[in-house]
Amino acid sequence: MPAKKPDRALLLTPGASAGRDQPALVAIDNALSPVPVERMDFPYKKAGRKSPDKAPVLIEAVREGAAALAKRTKLAPDRLVLGGRSMGGRMCSMAVAEGLPALGLALISYPLHPPGHPEKSRTEHLPQLKVPCLFVSGTKDAFGTVDELEAATATIPGPVTHVWLDGGDHGLRRRDAEVAEIVRDWVLGL
């Protein structure tokens, strides 16, 4: 009997200092098989630069990555889950807030604000998110406390799921398998 064609796919984006082979992204990719997963690099990484491009360039890269994944898998754009770690997840959420279709957003270590600067909140786009959102965060993340992230995500009209990893910092070191299992179960449950 032929395998059933997957009805969803996942686009994964890395954090600012990492690339598509970031261990957490690889673990998620492996956990989701046979669901198609595309791990992408942002333009500055492809060019060998260390500093991320400005948000419009990164958001456009997410749009292009989503379009390529939809074409490759022959899935409608609204059958794609978009997400990733830190900055990458944030760029996916901004693209969806600007109208990019998605089945949901899987956001790992969402960077709510720069460490030590809660006044520089990165939340203005959250009220435009109408798709299901998964936030996987450590309880000791310097980019946003549990209370700060829960207050910010309360502005999201779509369904929000929080999974807190006790004692985890922004990097969620040595938690890749746990993160991958959480993301897999959530994506498959959409």
pLDDT tens track of the chain, all 190 residues?
556 788 999 999 999 999 999 999 999 999 998 999 999 999 999 999 999 999 999 999 999 999 999 999 999 999 999 999 999 999 999 999 999 999 999 999 999 999 999 999 999 999 999 999 999 999 999 999 999 999 999 999 999 999 999 999 999 999 999 999 999 999 999 9
**How does the average pLDDT of the chain come out, rounded?**
96
Distance of CA 138 to the CA centre of its chain: 15
Q: How many Å apart are CA 99 and CA 52, to the nearest integer?
A: 23
Where are the chain's structural domains? 9-189
DSSP string, 63-126: HHHHHHHHHHHT--GGGEEEEEEHHHHHHHHHHHHTT---SEEEEES---S-TT-TTS---TTG
CATH superfamily of 9-189: Alpha/Beta hydrolase fold, catalytic domain (3.40.50.1820)
Instruction: Give the DSSP H/E element, type plus range, for residue 170.
Output: none
Q: What pTM was estimated for this model as a whole?
A: 0.96
